[in-house]
Structure 1
Amino acid sequence: MSNGLIEVLNALGSLLRFGILPFYSDRFIQLLGAAFAGSGSAGVLVIHFREKIREIPLLFCRYHVVICGVHTTTEVLAQQFRNKKTKTVVIGAGEDTFEAENIRRSSTVLLSGDPKNPAVLSLARLKNASTLLALTGSDGLNAEIALAAMKILEKRKGEPLTCILQISNPGLWKIIREQVLLPGKSPVVRIDFYNGPALGARDLLSSYFTPYIQTLSAHPSLLIVVGAGSLGENIITGASRAWYETGSRSSSLQVLLVDVHGREIRDRLYMTYPCLRDAAEIRAVPVDVRSAEFQSGGYLKDLGSRSSVLAFICLNDDTAGLTAALALSHHLVGLDARIFVRMDHNPGLATLVKEMSPETVPITPFNSLSFAARPDLVLGGIREILARAIHDQYLAKQSLHDAEQNDVAMAHWDDLPERLRESNRLQAEGILEKLRAVGCDILPLTDWNAPAFSFTPAEIEYLAEMEHERWMDAMKTQGFSLGPVKDEQKKTHPSMVPYIELSEPEKEKDRDAIRMIPRYLSLIDFQVYRPPGNPAKEAIPALRNERE
């Protein structure tokens, strides 16, 4: 123990020699080490100084990212921020976890404490931070963290703090957003939202489920989800919605949910999503994947004549997930089956899965965080996700026409020039601003059969003018000016005039952009929401008077 104390004190002495804490002397540290070596107080001092040394980098944190919550997602984010040279501070209630140890090893500052405690947030130098990510496993706690941040920063000047909250429960979204965290309510904090499991599920389904719906619906098929959690629940609801909306309503999607709490999860999903009962028949099997019953495959006795099976193993433990996938594969031999197993932690196991014999049922590993935990998606919030959806819709629309092969705008998002990506982001931000301008907001889409939202004619005209002004501002920023023809080289465009001077066909383009807003939002599982206290007939005149 005395050696540990001397090691800690010598480390502190090294920091002093570098001038980080010039108000102590090297000689003082050396004397302190000699004095306490071998004493009964050594253990306490070692712990005390170790914690203080860990906090030293906080003194120099500015424009950094504060992350609340210690789990796999924050571990991945901390490493990626470090790779990008972005200073990061992580706050967690408990530090004795595998993820916490990995965060420490990445030289990221890890504070132990209640993330909603103002003292802990202040210790993380929140006043100097650029971004706060509230990513704990509790939606309510994430909202409390945001409220605490608003209190701490109520006298902040300059740019507001960007606060990204993870809100997974659609039922809580409306309450939290309306009563506490409505965008624009706080001038010192800019609130945005993130749902990692939903992003991961959407990315997974877009690759392995949605493209094959027609094939699956043509034969007796089964979707198996083992180990629900947030990811599994989003896979079930996402697959069911895709099945429902692609016209495969002649028969329900057959889903087998294998989870200890399967029945409770199924009933809650049925209550949250009104159309889910019509879209999917979920058979819940409350079986532990480590049990003999799961290994024996007894829960598959009613598999019947299913010829196609798609299985997603969503367990958070890589080893348990692989074990479950192998056990399941033995019972699916002879069927047109594929198994996808979550592998977020151990790349070695994932490699082993890929090298398995092709004679068995194909088992494909997937990392649920490879897409969902990308810093640009997390920091961008809804704006970034919506921008991607807008571009995807553009690609789908243009593919129906004879688009030019060399058109750079036809590239997928990751290959798109930054100028065009930013254009999509500005359009997404403009959508959110327009909704606020007419007293509307967004909510998670839970009723897939709800009547489509429609703006009134007055709203469409008003918002179309806003859209044209937004477009002109963006074009001016890029150096464009009025010209007789559109010329990318000379940077001229004939529509660089006030909205009132546009031709009717050009105005209709802006109106169509407004009419598409509900569609864009539905692509990311959101909908336009008009609060009862903000009817359209009251919003437009007041806004027009304000602008005039």
Structure 2
Amino acid sequence: MKETTSIRSSIMVAFGGLALLSLVLGYVGLRVHLADEPQVSFLDLVYYDLQLFVIDSTPLGEGGPLPWPLEIARFTAPAVTVYALIETVRLLLSSEFRRLRARESSRHAIVCGTGALGQAVTQRLREEGRKVVVIGSAGGDLPRAPGVLHVTGDATDPLVLRAAGAGRARTVYACEDDATVNVAIAATVHGMDPAAPVAAYAHVPDPGLCAALRARRLGVVEPRDHRLDFFNLDELVVRVLLARDPVDQPRPVLLLGLETFGAALLVELARRWRLLAPPPGTRLPVRVIAPEAEPEVAAVCRTYPFVAENCALTCENGGVDDLRELLEAGKEPPQRVYVCYADEHLALTAALTVAPLWTGAPVVVRVSRRRMFGEVFRDGRLMEDLAGSLQIFAVTEEAGKPDLIDEDVIERIARAIHDRYVLACVQRGDTPGENASMVPYEELSEAKKGQNRDQAAHIGAKLAAVGCVPAPSTAAPHTFAFTGEEVERLARMEHTRWMRYLTDRGWAHGPERDDGGRRHPDLLDWEYLSEQARDKDREAVAQLPDILQDAGFRIVRLPASTGP
């Protein structure tokens, strides 16, 4: 494709040069040809010269021998005109053809937005071999690549979405810079009622708004087949960062700045440390230096109580200008340094301040896009004494992966359910050798993941049955608890859901569990279950507040209706 584009560009340049040559030769030839007619002015010559391009130059109608420059120009000028007409028709037809292809596409991905995130998602999709339709404004920087079609317009307009084939698409990614626009795009897709299920994902940079929208989505009692979710880049990308370079030693970790990225990183550090099942009382030392470190960390701990339970936190209030003094007073070099400032200038200043102090500790610098500082850190002599210690971590590029974005709020809760299960197994003394399910969520089979997802998707229905809804976690204390009557009612619902999930997949009752033969002794109505089997459902219900809390949500009771 690049070679074809290069050839076409070369041809256009060649015909551009031919047009200029035709003008020059035509003017020179006309001047010689009409030299005996003094009434012909300079402007007349220019006018006659331009007429050569439409095969209608007045002096040529008189016939007779012509100067050689004019003989050449009277053929090359029309040739340029013919080429221009052919190219115009080609562009019009190809544009219309692309619009038709976009409208008639099926099972493709639609990316709304041509900014950094939109381009990153488009590139990743193409690397996976998927067909992509990009919706952008008329002045946007539309990516040009094989398999990428374009539709110009406002993606919140149903007509524009239909022109992009939204009715037959597999996924829509709303990646505009404005969160309200992204939410509107996702809502429009969700309300179009396309023939096949369509997943819509909206980028919401504000973590508070993102959590509120996710809570509302989780509380839908009867979720439709069309998936709808909202994602925040910083929350997604910390999982990539710690999966790539895990922190598994009880040595200090240093966070410079907090903001959205640092807060999400702190939560993920605590979550992964808890799953490592360290010896009792062993917490991960984490030192946070930020302008408002103490209140910001306190807010994170109130929202996610397990952070304080698993991390030994040290908070110091200070800006970039205070870093050197604060760091030189540190007693122990950290095993890892994370520079979490959203402002790239502050991030670079902090990185250059901290890196010379501990050249043995990796310093991870958060930036929006790699090319901001990537070349300087990787190749420039400016950083040659710090080689290997500084790592650029580009949020937009690392988080703009479809497989990450596709993990919606149901997947997030499913992960929390599995994490709680593993913790309970560890507390009982189980080992991975005895229980094959005691593995990270990513390593579970799709069948086991499916069970967790189904349980997560049913949470909205359970809460609605007892007059409750999920809400984003706040700094308020988490005091919710189900009553005994509610636990019993919801345990019955949980057992019914579990039975339906297995029977829909070919399972039946059997005296002993047989995964290969799809038999289970508890596939019975509630009235015939043993108390031990019922306790499993009760425990699953009783754990709901803690599961939601681990995922950043809490349960809120709706006020009872008092009637008219």
Same fold (TM over 0.5): yes
Query: Could you tell me how far apart the structure 2 residues matched to 1:413 and 1:175 are?
Result: 25
**Alpha carbons of structure 1 residues 316 and 90: separation in structure 2 relative to 1, 3 Å:** farther
Q: Which residues in structure 2 correspond to 1:323-362 (within 5 Å)? A: 327-333=352-358, 337-342=361-366, 345=370, 352=378, 362=389
Q: Displacement, 1:423?
A: 2.0
Cα deviations by residue, 1:241-300 (Å, 9 ceiling, x for unpaired): 9999x999x99965334xxxx77xx79958976959x97746353x6xxxxxxxxx7742
Q: Which residues in structure 2 correspond to 1:99-248 (within 5 Å)? A: 100-101=142-143, 104-105=144-145, 107-149=147-189, 153=192, 156=193, 158-159=195-196, 161-173=198-210, 183=220, 190-204=227-241, 211=248, 215-216=251-252, 222-225=254-257, 230-232=260-262, 234-235=264-265
Q: Note if contact 1:183-1:191 (Cα within 8 Å) is conserved in structure 2.
A: no
**Alpha carbons of structure 1 residues 438 and 108: separation in structure 2 relative to 1, 3 Å:** farther
Question: Greater CA radius of gyration, 1 or 2?
Answer: 2
Q: Supply the AA of the counterpart residue of 1:59.
A: R
Equivalent position of 1:14 in the other structure: none
Q: Displacement, 1:510?
A: 0.3
Query: Could you tell me how far apart the structure 2 residues matched to 1:464 and 1:140 are?
Result: 38
Query: Could you tell me how far apart the structure 2 residues matched to 1:128 and 1:204 are?
Result: 34
Query: Could you tell me how far apart the structure 2 residues matched to 1:57 and 1:267 are?
Result: 55
**Alpha carbons of structure 1 residues 363 and 170: separation in structure 2 relative to 1, 3 Å:** closer
Q: Displacement, 1:502?
A: 0.9
Query: Could you tell me how far apart the structure 2 residues matched to 1:492 and 1:234 are?
Result: 42
Cα deviations by residue, 1:139-173 (Å, 9 ceiling, x for unpaired): 3222222343356x2xx365554332333435435
Q: Which residues in structure 2 correspond to 1:287-326 (within 5 Å)? A: 299-306=323-330, 307-309=332-334, 310-314=336-340
Q: Note if contact 2:414-2:456 (Cα within 8 Å) is conserved in structure 1.
A: yes
Query: Could you tell me how far apart the structure 2 residues matched to 1:272 and 1:33 are?
Result: 73
Query: Could you tell me how far apart the structure 2 residues matched to 1:145 and 1:50 are?
Result: 27
**Alpha carbons of structure 1 residues 272 and 348: separation in structure 2 relative to 1, 3 Å:** closer
Equivalent position of 2:125 in the other structure: 81
- Name which of structure 1's ranges 177-186 and 82-91 shifts more when overlaid on structure 2: 177-186
2:447 to 414, 419, 425: 419
Q: Which residues in structure 2 correspond to 1:12-23 (within 5 Å)? A: none
Q: Note if contact 2:156-2:184 (Cα within 8 Å) is conserved in structure 1.
A: yes
Q: Displacement, 1:469?
A: 1.4
Query: Could you tell me how far apart the structure 2 residues matched to 1:394 and 1:178 are?
Result: 22
Alpha carbon RMSD of aligned pairs, Å? 4.9
Equivalent position of 1:255 in the other structure: 288
2:463 to 420, 424, 435: 435
**Alpha carbons of structure 1 residues 128 and 492: separation in structure 2 relative to 1, 3 Å:** closer
Equivalent position of 1:283 in the other structure: 317
Partner secondary structure for residue 114 of structure 2: coil
Corresponding position: 1:498 with 2:525: yes
Equivalent position of 1:24 in the other structure: none
**Alpha carbons of structure 1 residues 165 and 267: separation in structure 2 relative to 1, 3 Å:** farther
Query: Could you tell me how far apart the structure 1 residues matched to 2:225 and 2:431 are?
Result: 45
Query: Could you tell me how far apart the structure 1 residues matched to 2:271 and 2:516 are?
Result: 45
2:104 to 57, 60, 65: 60
- Name which of structure 1's ranges 375-384 and 229-238 shifts more when overlaid on structure 2: 229-238
Structure 2: gaps of 5 or more residues: 1-7, 13-77
Q: Supply the AA of the counterpart residue of 2:238.
A: A
Q: Note if contact 1:6-1:37 (Cα within 8 Å) is conserved in structure 2.
A: no
Q: Displacement, 1:357?
A: 8.8
Q: Displacement, 1:304?
A: 4.2
**Alpha carbons of structure 1 residues 371 and 361: separation in structure 2 relative to 1, 3 Å:** closer
| Bigger RCO (CA 8 Å, 6+ sep) | 2
**Alpha carbons of structure 1 residues 275 and 62: separation in structure 2 relative to 1, 3 Å:** same
Q: Displacement, 1:383?
A: 1.3
- Name which of structure 1's ranges 418-427 and 132-141 shifts more when overlaid on structure 2: 132-141
Percent sequence identity over matched residues? 25
Query: Could you tell me how far apart the structure 2 residues matched to 1:118 and 1:190 are?
Result: 18
**Alpha carbons of structure 1 residues 234 and 331: separation in structure 2 relative to 1, 3 Å:** same
Equivalent position of 1:20 in the other structure: none
Equivalent position of 1:480 in the other structure: 507
Q: Supply the AA of the counterpart residue of 1:57.
A: R
Q: Supply the AA of the counterpart residue of 1:235.
A: L
Structure 1: gaps of 5 or more residues: 8-31, 288-296, 539-548
Equivalent position of 2:27 in the other structure: none
Partner secondary structure for residue 110 of structure 2: strand
Q: How many residues align?
A: 471
Equivalent position of 1:91 in the other structure: 135
Corresponding position: 1:470 with 2:497: yes
Q: Displacement, 1:340?
A: 1.3
Query: Could you tell me how far apart the structure 1 residues matched to 2:287 and 2:385 are?
Result: 27
Q: Displacement, 1:511?
A: 0.6
Q: Note if contact 1:6-1:33 (Cα within 8 Å) is conserved in structure 2.
A: no
